[in-house]
Structure 1
Amino acid sequence: MTVWGKSYNGIPIKSDYRVHDQVVRILKAGPSIGELLDIATGKGALAARLKDECEVAQIDINDFAGEAIIDLQRKHFSQDLNMDFGRTLGRYDAVVAVEILEHLENPWHFLRNLSAILKPGATAIISTPNTDSFLDRLWVFIHGYPFYFGEAGYENSDGHITMIPDWLIRKIAKEAGLEVIDRTAVSTGPHFGRRMRLLSLLLWPIYALLGKEKNNRSINIYKFKKRTQ
């Protein structure tokens, strides 16, 4: 099963499509949203789907790459996300940042700015590759780097440069005034080819005995809440 190369209503999805499924599920389960910002919208597939399926009064997009092909009422800032953006925007009820954190030079700076544009009590949904998975540990054993990183990750994924394990994103978020409400994920299952399955049979007993966190999460998806104080 391939998880890449999918589209929504003809708009290419530039990530594992299952991440979009989870983001939509999370937002649909919550209350209606006044203003939402989709950061690093790509072609705009997620923003279009949120507009169609979720109760959102207004969707803005950050199209820093200049490649969005959707038509929304408002399109806000397009500057480099490594720069300051927290002082130039209004405050949002929800912000979605899917598969962008690993592309940035400084996730601490990014989350501080993201927190600044959220209303107190507002929601942020952020996804990033999970480098703690069994698959990633196997990949390090064979190649020397986690599954979504290394030169292949840089070339094939438009520049994966920053790994943020679970413990670290929680630390960064706390420092930025964000509280982790929930974490969900998509599984590594589709990425296990024959060789990796055979190797996993050999190494799983060792991992099960010594590994601190045993999981098959390919990509972590976090729901954060902006602290009110």
Structure 2
Amino acid sequence: MREMTGKERAQLEEMVIASRRPGWGEHFWLLVAAATVLPTLYSAILLVPLAIGARLIGFPIGNGAWKANPITYYGAILVVAGIWLAMVALQIRWSIRAEGSRSHGLAKLKEDLARGLVRDEVLTVTGAKLLREPEHDMIVFFLQLSNGKCFVLYDYDSVDINGEFDGQSRPTLTPREIFHLVTFPASKRRGWSFSGPEIALPDVLPMAATPDLWPEDESWCRVKWENIERHYGPKKNR
């Protein structure tokens, strides 16, 4: 552990400011959808089989006949009301949990600021593999480090801003031999940088894995180094 630099403190302060943005407003339209669009959709989906079942049992429902029977009339109202209450309750519960998580994260960031300490790991880059994701032609770096792990970095500046997505984008990130990984201990947020001479980069392979299988940015890759091409790359490597 060491004291954080001015640059690291500024980075942490930016994270705090971003976490202080009002959170409830972000959930407003989701709550509106939970109170209008979703209940309408689910009611339509559920009422169709219920109407078919009522018809098979012998309840008249055609030409508005269902309104004359208390069972079908109040039953339809109860179904719609139940779905509406369930959707709104679930959305409110999710919003409360999301705000609780945001508040907890903000408290941890403030704790890091108060401590003023970081965990600094100085590692050597022993290998690199580059894959280009198909949605925006962004290049994903897989860096093999001297601790035996593989660190993932998204090269956001390599995104094809022209929207051609022809697989011709080039990496803009310049990895070097020394990798500095800084971790803020309480919040577990990370920062990183390179130093030393540049390393040679291999050819970029297309990433064929679906987005739900992509590793997260600034994370440790769970796939073994020797299996990265087979897991994420073209089918011929699998």
TM-score, normalised with respect to structure 2: 0.21
Greater per-residue helix proportion: 2
